């Protein structure tokens, strides 16, 4: 049985690294699901044990905030914010700074992926209308969304998992993350502004003067639906900060309220839920549960500690999180490292390092790929080189700042 688990685990995480497997049409979600099916099908994991391995609070929280983000997207909120922002009479560098702040604030509550998906097409069109090169602003959108999502325990899927699994205080985490996130956003603005100095205007080489397609235009702004979604979001934040009501239960109630609508049909709301991401979580929960029960993971951690790499300590945990997040993606990396997250600062370290590491490579974050895809659809050349010129220095700077703040916290 152990051999079967090791083979399945190895193939699943090889797929996480490669983004697929040779000779089969499977993405990361399909690979994780197939791994879970194999373990249950071969009798290694019973159906009951597979169900018990699922961390329901995380799945419930993820689903609820997907519904909340769908409400605001269908209400045209993100497009309205982007157009209002782009219309402000600010110089290019000032507009860049305000964009970074707004995107980070939205991503901290409504998920970085959704923010990028809804804002990128509108941002490109708005930049063209002002005669601005959209590339610096698209890079700012991707980087700020990733960094901003690290500010709370609901900003991205891995933070939801960490917060629910380690039962972190919502307000306590926000205080821990505020410093690294604020410094990271400032560094992002400085790096992009410095690289773009004197070259804000003009059309990007290889881009067309008009939008390539309009299929990804956001819905028209609906004041009532937007206010409804924002009200639920504000109430949930108050509940998270000031009550002991379980976050997943409160979020589900909020999602239920939004689904009870006379104007937005539930199939439209549920159609915007990221079901593949939820399935990815389910598959990885089962695969990791089976691997943990082999005892090999504990033996590997003990072996690393014996050679001077104790993963339960802040420094090695930070380094391992950055490495694994770029190797297998941040959600699988966090799942692997959660069993050794026993230090008081382990939760913030896991959340911040796994999220900030996502800016290093174009494929390091779904938000990056969403922005790149929106750019290509609008005729703007946005490849891994374009991203790397900003993503690499932003990642190195933000990780260094985060490490500095965490070191100061440990020494205090």
Sequence-distant (6+) residues with CB within 8 A of 174 are: 151, 152
Q: What pLDDT score does 359 carry? A: 93
Residue 207 is predicted with a pLDDT of 44
pLDDT in tens, 327-340: 888 899 999 999 99
Helix and strand tally (H, E) in the chain?
A: 20, 0
Alpha-carbon dihedral 115, 366, 214, 131, rounded to 10 degrees:
70
Q: How confident is the model at residue 203 (pLDDT cuts 50, 70, 90)?
A: low
What pLDDT sits at residue 214?
A: 55
Which tokens go with 201?
A: 């205007």
Distance (Å, rounded) from C-alpha 235 to C-alpha 125?
Answer: 33
Burial string for 276-296 (b: 16+ CB within 10 Å, else e) reads: ebbebbbbbbbbbbbbbbbee
Three-class SS of 274-285: CHHHHHHHHHHH
Range name among 16-20, 53-57, 345-349 with the lowest pLDDT average: 16-20
Q: How far apart are CA 272 and CA 4, in angstroms?
A: 36
Residue 219: what pLDDT? 83
Q: Please enumerate in sequence order all residues whose Cβ is within 8 A of that of 84, keeping only pairs 6 or more positions apart, or say none.
A: none
Percentage of the residues of the chain whose pLDDT score is greater than 70: 96
Alpha carbons within 13 angstroms on the beta-carbon side of residue 193 total 16
Q: Residue 306: pLDDT above 80?
A: yes
Q: What is the pLDDT of residue 412?
A: 72
**152 phi-psi bin (left φ>0, alpha ψ -120 to 50, beta other):** beta
> Would you say the C-alpha torsion 32, 38, 41, 45 has a positive or negative sign?
negative
What is the distance between the alpha carbons of residues 319 and 376, in angstroms, rounded to a whole number? Answer: 34
d(CA 198, CA 410): 42
Average pLDDT over residues 45-53: 94
Residue 395 has pLDDT above 50, yes or no: yes
The predicted-structure confidence for 124-180, as pLDDT tens digits, reads as follows 999 999 999 999 999 999 999 999 999 999 999 999 999 999 999 999 999 999 999
Sorting pLDDT into bands at 50, 70 and 90, what band is 212? very low
Residue 348 burial by Cβ neighbours in a 10 Å radius (0-12, 13-18, 19+): buried
236's tokens: 């949930």
* Range 98-117 average pLDDT: 93
Residue 226, both tokens: 């937007």
Give the per-residue pLDDT at 68: 95
What pLDDT score does 337 carry?
Answer: 94
Within 134-274, where are the H helices?
134-149, 157-166, 170-196, 223-242, 247-259, 266-271
Q: Indicate the pLDDT class of residue 213, thresholds 50, 70 and 90.
A: very low
Band (pLDDT 50/70/90 cuts) for residue 206 is very low
pLDDT of amino acid 22: 86
DSSP per-residue string spanning 238-295 = HHHHH--S-HHHHHHHHHHHHHS-SSS-HHHHHHTS-HHHHHHHHHHHHHHHHHHTTT
Q: Hey, CA dihedral for 255, 261, 264, 270, is it positive or negative?
A: positive
CA distance 257 to 379: 39
62: alpha, beta or left? (left if phi > 0; alpha if psi -120 to 50):
alpha
Q: Does pLDDT of 352 surpass 80? A: yes
**What's the pLDDT score for residue 111?**
84
For 371-387, what is the mean pLDDT? Answer: 89
Among 75, 90, 76, 182, which Cα is nearest to 137's?
90
Rounded-to-integer distance, Cα 273 and Cα 281, Å: 14
For the chain, the average pLDDT equals 91
211: confidence class by pLDDT, cuts 50, 70, 90: very low
SS3 153: coil
Give the pLDDT confidence of 26-37 residue by residue, as tens digits. Answer: 888 999 999 999
Q: What pTM did the predictor assign?
A: 0.90
CA dist list (Å): 360 to 159, 279, 395, 407: 18, 26, 5, 22
Res 205 pLDDT > 70: no
């Amino acid at each position: 049985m152990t051999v079967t688990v090791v083979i399945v685990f190895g193939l699943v995480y090889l797929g996480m690294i490669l983004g697929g497997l040779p000779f089969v049409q499977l993405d990361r979600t399909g690979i994780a699901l197939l791994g879970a099916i194999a373990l249950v099908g071969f009798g290694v994991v019973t159906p009951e044990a597979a169900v018990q391995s699922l961390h329901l609070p995380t799945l419930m929280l993820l689903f609820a905030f997907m519904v909340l983000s769908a409400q605001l997207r269908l209400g045209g909120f993100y497009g309205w914010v982007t157009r209002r922002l782009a219309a402000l009479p600010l110089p290019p560098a000032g507009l860049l700074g305000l964009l970074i702040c707004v995107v980070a604030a939205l991503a901290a509550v409504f998920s970085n992926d959704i923010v990028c998906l809804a804002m990128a097409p509108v941002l490109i069109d708005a930049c063209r209308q002002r005669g601005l090169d959209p590339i610096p602003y698209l890079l700012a959108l991707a980087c700020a969304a990733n960094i901003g999502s690290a500010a709370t325990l609901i900003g991205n899927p891995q933070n939801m998992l960490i917060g629910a699994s380690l039962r972190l205080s919502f307000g306590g985490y926000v205080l821990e993350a505020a410093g690294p996130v604020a410094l990271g956003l400032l560094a992002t603005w400085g790096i992009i502004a410095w690289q773009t100095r004197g070259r804000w205007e003009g059309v990007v080489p290889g881009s067309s003067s008009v939008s390539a397609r309009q299929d990804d235009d956001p819905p028209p702004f609906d004041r009532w639906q937007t206010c409804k979604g924002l009200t639920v979001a504000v109430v949930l934040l108050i509940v998270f900060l000031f009550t002991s009501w379980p976050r997943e239960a409160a979020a589900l109630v909020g999602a239920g309220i939004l689904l009870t609508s006379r104007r937005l049909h539930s199939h439209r709301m549920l159609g915007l839920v990221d079901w593949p991401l939820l399935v990815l979580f389910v598959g990885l929960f089962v695969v990791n549960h089976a691997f943990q029960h082999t005892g090999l993971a504990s033996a590997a951690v003990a072996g690393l500690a014996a050679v001077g790499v104790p993963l339960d300590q802040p420094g090695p945990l930070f380094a391992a999180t950055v490495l694994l997040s770029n190797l297998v993606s941040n959600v699988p990396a966090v799942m692997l490292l959660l069993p050794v997250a026993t230090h008081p600062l382990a939760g913030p370290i896991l959340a911040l390092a796994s999220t900030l590491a996502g800016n290093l490579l174009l494929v390091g974050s779904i938000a990056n790929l969403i922005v790149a895809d929106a750019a290509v659809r609008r005729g703007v050349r946005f490849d891994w080189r374009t991203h790397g010129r900003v993503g690499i220095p932003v990642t190195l700077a933000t990780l260094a700042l985060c490490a500095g703040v965490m070191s100061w916290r440990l020494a205090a």
